[in-house]
């Protein structure tokens, strides 16, 4: 069972949100925009004899232009993503404004598409499967595009269910193996016989008490500075036993 402190959970959650919103969320938006466009063209062809064909044609024409605009936005996000991590100032303010304008327009197009589709009598009566598929696609896209933090949150929370933490390996210092242990890099004291020490996943060894106190301040290895926050398991259960 996973064991994360509240601070660790917040750290993992916020970092994962940022990562998935910039990568997975972008890919999902591109996919849904393409699917919506394909379905929209199918609706346009099938209902070309209906009374509201002119409205659908105008809508889908504008929707195609809008999806082209979004494509440039998503490509820009992918190009700049690697630079944003180390140099956030490179993410142009113009791109941020452009992104919010696109999101606002996207919600408008989604609501308009839902309204026009629901009032399309020909599509509803003769092509029910396509009708409901279009409605479902619009609803899903509205949720994903309109609530990026919510969709990313569900993605991260779902991944938490399958996340496994690696335990510290507890070793006991004996007279036979004491020569294999150097001094603790935190307190700089030598290990003694019958002491319990902790071996991290990066293979560095420290006093149990020292490493527990260390991880209350930092989630990196004191020796190699490796970030261990996603694989650590604090000794909460063992503390209760002692």
Of 113 and 162, more confident: 113
Q: What is the pLDDT of residues 72-104, one digit of tens each?
A: 666 666 565 555 444 444 445 555 565 666 666
CA atoms within 13 Å, Cβ hemisphere of 225 = 0
Token pair 């309109």: residue: 146
Question: Quick one: what percent of the chain has pLDDT higher than 70?
Answer: 27
Question: What's the mean per-residue pLDDT of the chain?
Answer: 63
Give span(s): CATH 3.30.40.10, the chain: 169-241
**pLDDT value at residue 220:** 77
Query: Are the CB atoms for 141 and 36 separated by under 8 Å?
Result: yes
pLDDT for the residue 106: 64
Identify the pLDDT of residue 242: 46
Q: Is the pLDDT of residue 1 over 50?
A: no
Report CA 217 to chain centroid distance, whole Å.
26
Phi/psi of residue 182, each to 5°? -85, 180
Among the listed residues 145, 140, 169, 162, the one whose alpha carbon sits nearest the alpha carbon of residue 73: 145
Task: List, for residues 146-182, the tens digit of each pLDDT value.
Answer: 555 555 555 555 555 554 444 567 777 877 777 777 7
Which CATH number applies to 169-241? 3.30.40.10
- Express as a percent the part of the chain with pLDDT over 90: 0
pTM for the whole structure: 0.32
Do residues 29 and 144 lie in contact, with contact meaning Cβ atoms separated by under 8 Å? yes
């Amino acid at each position: 069972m996973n064991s994360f402190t509240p601070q660790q959970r917040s750290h993992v959650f916020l970092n994962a949100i940022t990562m998935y919103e910039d990568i997975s969320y972008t890919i999902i938006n591109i996919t849904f925009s393409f699917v919506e466009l394909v379905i929209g063209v199918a609706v346009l062809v099938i209902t070309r004899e209906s009374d509201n064909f002119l409205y659908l044609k105008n809508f889908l024409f504008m929707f195609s232009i809008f999806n082209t605009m979004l494509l440039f936005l998503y490509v820009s996000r992918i190009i700049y993503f690697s630079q944003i991590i180390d140099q956030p100032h490179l993410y142009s303010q113009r791109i941020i404004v452009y992104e919010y304008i696109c999101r606002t327009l996207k919600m408008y197009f989604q609501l308009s598409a839902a309204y026009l589709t629901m009032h399309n009598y020909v599509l509803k009566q003769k092509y029910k499967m396509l009708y409901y598929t279009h409605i479902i696609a619009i609803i899903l896209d509205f949720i994903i595009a309109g609530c990026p933090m919510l969709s990313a949150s569900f993605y991260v929370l779902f991944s938490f269910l399958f996340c496994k933490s690696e335990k510290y390996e507890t070793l006991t210092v004996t007279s036979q193996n004491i020569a294999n242990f150097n001094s603790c890099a935190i307190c700089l004291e030598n290990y003694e016989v019958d002491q319990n020490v902790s071996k991290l996943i990066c293979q560095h060894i420290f006093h149990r008490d020292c490493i527990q106190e260390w991880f209350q301040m930092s989630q990196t290895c004191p020796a190699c500075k490796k970030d261990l926050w996603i694989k650590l398991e604090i000794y909460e259960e063992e503390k209760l036993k002692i």
